Every structure is written in C-alpha cells, then in structure tokens.
C-alpha cells in the first residue's frame, strides 16, 4: 500500500512543543524504550554505479532502494526492506530474516533468498545478481514515534543521524560520522488516505517548509 510521506527539518524546541501536544492523542511506537525513543540502524545497499544515491540527488521521482534494518542493536528483529517511491508517495515492504541469514548476506551469499516466496526476497535477489548490489553505508539515528490510528498516521522525530562507512555491519563497533548538526531533527509524517486536521493543526505544517530529505543520501555524502 502506498502512503503519503512528508518531511521537514525542525529544531529541538519545535519538536518538544509538537511532541507534547501529540502525546495527548497519539500512542507511542512499540519499539520505544522507557525514555520514549529507540535506535534505528539500517545497512543500505546500492549498485556499482550508486544509482540509488544519484537518482535521489538528481531528483528522479520514481526510485527503489533496499536495506537491512534492526532496532536497538538487537538481533531478534532483522528486516530486509524494500522502499519504492512514486513522486510524493511511498510503499515499504519487508521480510524478516534470521541473524544467520544476515551473516550469510554480508558474506555475499544470497542464495537463501531463492527459497523464499515473498516479493521482497525475489526482488532483492534479482537486483543483487543483475545490478551488483553491495552494502554501501550504515545509517543510524534515534527515533521517537507516535501513532494516530485515524488515517493511519505515523509521526516520527529522528535525531543524531550518523553514518558508518568503514565497517558495514549493523552489529559491530564502528566509527560513526555525524551527518546533520546535533540540533537538527528530521520530522516525518506518513499517512494513508487523508491527513487528519487535528494532526495537521498540532504540527502546524503550513508554517513549515517541506523538504526532500534522504537520510541515506546525507550519510553517503559524509562518507565520500
């Protein structure tokens, strides 16, 4: 299912005001820790020509990218994800893989995906074999997420965005490079169908400037 996705750059004060209002009507994401947030780590794949990166910075409207994602450095939930963008809407799908399958993938063996029926597995396998997909960069950030069930709205505040470019493994210690100033926060709003006025008014999107922000592209740039 395709969802609308809006992105903005805000500061800590704006985030605190918004989060305080939203918390009165929204629920926190199930991954949140006691402090209200959690760590997201993603290993992005790109081809030899870095098409995912250059399509983004060139403004290509229809794009596709693959990543492996974990939360709080834990291996109990490992997702192989595919994200497709068509203009202003996105479609994200995933399969769960085991830690053993993840390790196999890092060694360059994707044969186990041939035995999976999900479209994500087949598509990744095809791109890996035909377009020479390889690990490109680790993207890491702290996320606070709120969910409003009417309109299937998800609001996230992502901060402390960092890139891991030297050791491309989600579970190993690595040198991380900051990709945005520490006082910047990426606000993302995703919704299906309609954007409820109550959420729009709390965030006051009319007073914000929509931006085409890619965490993957930002992290690639700092690693160049």
CATH code of residue 196: 3.20.100.30
- Three-class DSSP labels, the chain: CCEEEEEEEEEHHHHHHHHHHHCCCCEECCCCCCCCCEEEEEEEEECCCCHHHHHHHCCCCEEEEEEEEEECCEEEEEEEEEEEEECCEEEEEEEECCHHHHHHHHCCCCHHHHHCCCHHHHHHHHHHHHCCCEEEEEEEEEEEEEEECCCCEEEEEEEEEEEECCCCCCCCCCCEEECCCCCEEEEEEEECCCCCHHHHHHHCHHHCCCCCCCHHHHHHHHCC
Burial environment of residue 182 by CB neighbours within 10 A (0 to 12, 13 to 18, 19 or more): exposed
Of 144, 142, 124, which is closest to residue 215 (Cα–Cα)? 142
Euclidean distance between CA atoms 93 and 84, whole angstroms? 9
Band the pLDDT of 208: cuts 50, 70, 90: confident
| Average pLDDT of the chain, as a whole number | 92
Note down the domain range covering 98: 3-222
Q: Are 203 and 15 in contact (CB under 8 A)?
A: no
Tens digits of residue pLDDT in 115-166? 999 999 999 999 999 999 999 999 999 999 999 988 899 999 999 999 997 7
What does pTM read for this prediction?
Answer: 0.93
Split into its structural domains, the chain has a count of 1
Residue 173: which pLDDT band, with cuts at 50, 70 and 90? low
For 61-108, how does the pLDDT look when each residue is reduced to its tens digit (9 = 90+)? 899 999 999 999 999 999 999 999 988 899 999 999 999 999 999 999
Other C-beta atoms within 10 Å of 58: how many?
9
CB neighbours (10 Å) of residue 217? Answer: 19
């Amino acid at each position: 299912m395709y969802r609308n996705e809006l992105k903005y750059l805000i500061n800590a004060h704006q985030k605190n005001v918004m989060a305080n209002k939203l918390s009165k009507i929204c629920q926190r994401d199930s991954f949140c820790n006691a402090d209200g947030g959690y760590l997201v780590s993603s290993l992005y794949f790109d081809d030899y020509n870095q098409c995912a990166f250059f399509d983004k910075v060139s403004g290509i409207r229809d794009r596709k990218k693959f990543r492996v994602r974990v939360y709080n450095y834990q291996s109990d939930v490992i997702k192989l994800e595919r994200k497709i963008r068509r203009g202003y809407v996105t479609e994200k799908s995933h399969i769960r893989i085991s830690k053993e399958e993840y390790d196999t993938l890092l060694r360059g063996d994707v044969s186990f995906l041939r035995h999976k029926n999900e479209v994500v597995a087949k598509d990744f396998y095809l791109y890996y074999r035909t377009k020479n997909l390889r690990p490109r960069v680790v993207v890491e950030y702290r996320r606070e997420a709120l969910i409003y069930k009417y309109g299937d709205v998800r609001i996230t505040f992502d901060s402390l965005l960092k890139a891991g470019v030297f050791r491309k493994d989600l579970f190993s210690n690595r040198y991380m490079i900051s990709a945005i100033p520490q006082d910047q926060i990426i606000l993302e709003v995703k919704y299906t169908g309609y954007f409820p006025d109550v959420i729009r008014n709390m965030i006051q999107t009319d007073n914000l400037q929509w931006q085409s922000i890619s965490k993957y592209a930002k992290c690639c740039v700092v690693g160049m």
